Amino acid sequence: MADPVAANDLGAPDPAGVTGDAGASSDTGSPAGVTKPEPTIPAAASGVSLLSGPGAAGPPIRAPGAERAIGIGFSVAIVAALGLAVLYALGGQPQLEGLLLGLALGGIGFGIISWGKHLMPNGPYVQRRELLSSTRDDRLLFEESFERGSGAIGRRRFLGRLLGGAITALGVALVFPIRSLGPNPGNSLKHTSWAPGLRLVNSTADPIRVADIGVGGVVTVFPEGHVGDATAQVVLIRVNDQPVVTRPGRQYWSPHGYLAFSKVCTHAGCPVGLYQQRTNQLLCPCHQSLFDVSKGAKPVFGPAPRSLPQLPLAVNEDGYLIAQRDFLEPVGPAFWERS
Ligand code: FES
């Protein structure tokens, strides 16, 4: 029997009571007294401790009741997270929701920290790099020790499942607030109430005839049946008595010199309503963006990032101005500028 101190060679008493000589063979089971060399087994798997320092010489330090406390922490987190989900679904109550969320996060945090503190091995470790052989006694002791630890491994698995349950329950609870984002806007942000053939009407719902506005005149108009619709409001300008081509492909958008642009500023949504006939520019009063009407309301000054969308116009058989269709692009400032 070898000296235990010599066996682990670390100057610390062997915790598992290992007394085999790590460096010598003591197996005499080979026939004819021939000494058979022991198979080389990594020291870490041989039951010989290679640990040093506080808590190194043996299984992790475990505070009494640690596993139970951790389990309780995770269980509290599960109950609190489910309670949070139910409370939210029933209409919610901010103070209680905060309390339950705190309990859920606190339970998970307590459990994880306690697990790390009480159930995980404590270093520091010193591991020898060379391979050491193990004696039969060492191996037997290792097997015994392993079997003793299987109960703890089973409990850890249970705690792991509790932790998974707590995180899942909290994830479920955190999905519910998506409902608070409001109804899905769908395509509504990309379209207005303008439609093919709709007449242009002023704020008193009177339709606009071609002869109603002289050159240089400006009026705010809406689609017929949608007076007051903030996203559909349009500034109608008669810049000439002949069609005006503001951009390639827009030859037939401006009958009798009428141009129509969204009145919603592309910077921050203010109504653009000041027209300077001399320069052919529209001014937004909020931050002084200037739009060049003759170039399709392209911004020429100020923070507006893009042109005011132009509404294609036509004249119907009764001489009223109508829309050919909706705007080709979204009006106002919104997500499409940030994508
Ligand atoms: S909102 Fe028009 S320039 Fe800012």
Domain with CATH 2.102.10.10 in the chain: 190-336
Locate the ligand 1 atom nearest the alpha carbon of residue 333 and give its number: 1
Is residue 55 predicted with pLDDT exceeding 60?
no
> Ligand 1, residues 266, 289, 307: which to mutate, most atoms within 8 A of Cβ?
289
Q: Which of 149-153, 181-185, 194-198 shows the lowest per-residue confidence on average (mean pLDDT)?
A: 149-153
* Mean pLDDT, range 183-192, rounded to an integer: 79
Instruction: Report the number of secondary-structure helices (H) and strands (E) in the chain.
Output: 4, 12
> Ligand 1, residues 284, 290, 331: which to mutate, most atoms within 8 A of Cβ?
284
- Say if ligand 1 is within 6 A of residue 267 CB: yes
More confident residue, 63 or 158: 158
Contact 247, 294 (CB under 8 A): no
Strand partners, 209: 320
- What pLDDT digit, counting tens, does each position of 30-48 carry? 444 444 444 444 444 444 4
Whose C-alpha lies nearest to ligand 1, atom 3? 287
> Ligand 1, residues 265, 274, 300: which to mutate, most atoms within 8 A of Cβ?
265
Count of beta carbons in the 10 Å neighbourhood of residue 97: 17
User: From ligand 1's centre to the CA of 272, what distance in Å?
Assistant: 8
Q: Is 41 helix (H, G, I), strand (E, B) or coil?
A: strand
Is residue 310 predicted with pLDDT exceeding 50?
yes
More confident residue, 5 or 333: 333
Whose C-alpha lies nearest to ligand 1, atom 1? 268
> Ligand 1, residues 264, 287, 301: which to mutate, most atoms within 8 A of Cβ?
287
**Cα 275-277-279 angle, rounded to 5 deg:** 100
Structural domain 190-336, CATH architecture: 3-layer Sandwich (2.102)
Model pLDDT, residue 11: 37
Strand partners, 320: 209
* Mean pLDDT, range 226-245, rounded to an integer: 92
User: From ligand 1's centre to the CA of 313, what distance in Å?
Assistant: 25
- Say if ligand 1 is within 6 A of residue 268 CB: yes
- Say if ligand 1 is within 6 A of residue 270 CB: yes
User: From ligand 1's centre to the CA of 168, what distance in Å?
Assistant: 46
Locate the ligand 1 atom nearest the alpha carbon of residue 287 and give its number: 3
pLDDT band at 13 (very low <50, low <70, confident <90, very high): very low
Is residue 236 predicted with pLDDT exceeding 70?
yes
- Say if ligand 1 is within 6 A of residue 302 CB: yes
Locate the ligand 1 atom nearest the alpha carbon of residue 284 and give its number: 2
Counting every residue, how long is the chain? Answer: 339
Model pLDDT, residue 151: 67
Q: How far apart are CA 92 and CA 23, in angstroms?
A: 68
Per-residue CA distances from 199 to 118, 152, 165, 229, 292 (Å): 77, 80, 61, 14, 25
